[in-house]
Amino acid sequence: MRITLTGAFVLLLFLLSGCHNDPLDVDISTVNVEITFKRLDQDLFSLNPAAGQTNTAELYNEYGQFLVDYSEGVLRIGSPESESYSYAVAQFITDENMKSLYRDVQDEFNDVSIIENELTDAFKFYRHHFPDSTIPDVVFNISALNYAVVATQTTLAIGLDMFLGADYPVYPLVGLPKYMYTNMKPNQVVPQAMKGWVQSMYETDALRNNLLEHMIFEGKLLYAMDALLRETEDSLKVGFSPEEMAWCKEYESRIWAHLVDQELLYTTEYMDINKWINQAPFVAGIPKNSPGRLGQWVGWQIVRFYMKNNPQIPITELMTNQNAQEILAKSKYKPKL
């Protein structure tokens, strides 16, 4: 069979485009989302108890059920429907520590337009991949150093005081360990907010008994970040430093061999699961220059392999698949020594 030069060139382009066909590279230029951004931090601290202007009724009208969730669950100052609520709010916003925290938040986040733009783009990708899901209101707030992200059915709340920088002097003073506040930086607002929102959608239905199930669940969340945060570096998605990311790639095969050889994948022991999945300075039993939450990173690689080897599976099906063993098997994940 003769192939002309032009025909060969077209065939080559076709083959090359097929080899690089990433299902996450989607066009969102025609995707519209309407997101309401609110500054509860500013609305709350603009009240003036000294002038008799602690009008929490207007605040309640503006924020509705979320103000209940925020007041009771985040600040723990009682219900907006209680008679003592105005007094509790006045105490909170006149507390010297809270006033200082508020000033620092305003210094760092007076203008949140860049964050709003990044969240809007992320939710456009979210609307594309999860077309039937809710697009929440976004409420910026001060959490009194309690919560970075809170998600309700209709609201994504971001505690800006939890993103004031790894060198923010208050964090160690309140007893936060260093391995936690190294990620409490402004560039973590969008990754943590989006991960928190997706997690809230799937957490209650997730099957997580053994370490593998925890790893795959976390891996699915991080893969969702691959889909929603297309311009974000992997290190920011997972919250590892570039050095930690390099360490993971260098020792990936040894990490996997350790999990298999020590028969850890199917352990249901809390301590084993905790040290591989949750916040920690490093993973006990592995060299101390390993990052904590290493099991999340491994789960991410497994899920990436699974989706690469099964390109017909949409991300919505991935997120609802509770069979971690099937995902592992079909991923064909086996890093080479």
Range of the domain at 43: 37-190
219 in the same domain as 159: no
242 in the same domain as 173: no
184 in the same domain as 287: no
Question: pLDDT class for 53, splitting at 50, 70, 90?
Answer: low
215 in the same domain as 183: no
Sheet holding 37-39, edge to edge: 37-39, 137-141, 155-159, 149-151
Residues 74, 150 contacting (CB under 8 angstroms): yes
Last residue of a domain, one of 190, 221, 236: 190
Q: Provide CB contacts within 8 A for 169, sequence distance 6+.
A: none
112 in the same domain as 61: yes
182 in the same domain as 217: no
Q: In the prediction, which pLDDT does 1 show? A: 41
285 in the same domain as 246: yes
**Range among 17-31, 47-61, 160-174 with highest mean pLDDT value:** 160-174
Q: What single-letter DSSP state applies at residue 193?
A: H
222 in the same domain as 179: no
User: Within a domain: residue 243?
Assistant: yes
Considering only CA atoms, which of 221, 220, 25 is closest in space to residue 128?
A: 25
Q: Residue 9 and residue 1: Cα distance in Å, rounded?
A: 16
230 in the same domain as 170: no
- pTM of the full structure: 0.90
Q: In the prediction, which pLDDT does 331 show? A: 98
| Whole-number Cα distances in Å, 298 to 34, 229, 247, 304 | 35, 19, 12, 10
The three-class DSSP label of residue 211 is helix
Number of folded domains that form the chain: 2
Question: pLDDT class for 10, splitting at 50, 70, 90?
Answer: very low
User: Within a domain: residue 274?
Assistant: yes
Considering only CA atoms, which of 247, 334, 236, 235 is closest in space to residue 287?
A: 247
